[in-house]
Amino acid sequence: MFKGMRVTLSQRTGEFFWRKFRKIREINKRYEKSSIKVTPTVKIALLFLRIYLILLVLILVYKFITLVR
């Protein structure tokens, strides 16, 4: 009896995550096309943000490594 219950429970969690996943895909699809006009300024700004983010992550990783050691 217990076994049966566990199966249905895991089934339900699976269903739950599947539904959430579908929701996220739906959101991605809804905003797939970026609405802002891609001018050079926008391009440069986004590129800068990407680089900035990567640098920051690298610093954090470095800090983490030195902290663990």
Partner 1 sequence: MTAIQKRKAGQTYFLTEIRGAKVYLGEKRIGKLKDMVIEETGKIPIVTHIVVSRPFGDPALLIPWDKVKSLSTKEVIVDIESVKQYEGEPAGGSILLADHVLDKKVLDTEGREVDVVYDVKLIMRYGKLYVSKVDFSWHGLLRRMGLRWLSDFIYNMTEKSKEETISWSYIEPLPTELGSFKGNVKLKVLKEKLADMPPVDVADILEELDHDQRVALFNQLETEHASDTLEEIDPNVQRALISSLDKGKVAQLLNEMTVGQAADVLSVLPRDQVEDILELLDKDDAKKIRAILERQEENILNYVTEDIIKLPPDMTADQAQENFPHYAKGKDTVVYLYIVDPRDKLLGVIDLKELLKADDKALLKDVMNDNVVSLSPDSTLKEAYETFVRYSFRAIPVVDDNGKILGVILHRDVMNIKHRFWE
Partner 2 sequence: MCATNFFARIYYNYRRIAKTIILFLIISGPGVIVMLADNDAGGITTYAATGAKYGYGLIWFLVLLLPVAYYVQEMTVRLGAVTKRGHAEAIFSAFGPFWGWFSLLDLALTDWLTLVTEFIGMTAALSIFHVPPIVTIIVVSIVMLLMVLQGRYWTWEKIALVFAAINLIYVPGAFLVHPSVSSILRQGAIPHFPGGFNNDIFFFLMANIGTTIAPWMIFFQQSAVVDKGLQEKDIAWEKLDTFVGSVFTVVVAIFIIVVTGTVLKGMQVESAAQAAIKLISVNRYVGTFLAIGLFDAGFLGAICISLASSWALGEIFGWAHSLNFKIREAPWFYGAYLLALVTAGSVVLIPKAPLVLITLFVQVIAVTLLPATLVFLILLLNNEETMGKYKNTRWQNIIISTIVVVIIILSTLYAISALFPNLFK
Q: Which residues bind partner 1 (CB under 8 A)?
A: 4-5, 7-9, 11-12
What DSSP character marks residue 31?
T
**What binding mask, one character per residue, do residues 9-48 give for partner 2 by CB under 8 A, x or -?**
--------------x---xx--xxxxxxx---xx--xx-x
Q: Which two tokens stand for residue 5?
A: 């219950």
Minimum CB–partner distance for residue 41 and partner 1 (Å): 20
SS3 content of the chain, % helix, strand, coil (to 5): 85, 0, 15
Length of the chain: 69
Minimum CB–partner distance for residue 32 and partner 2 (Å): 7
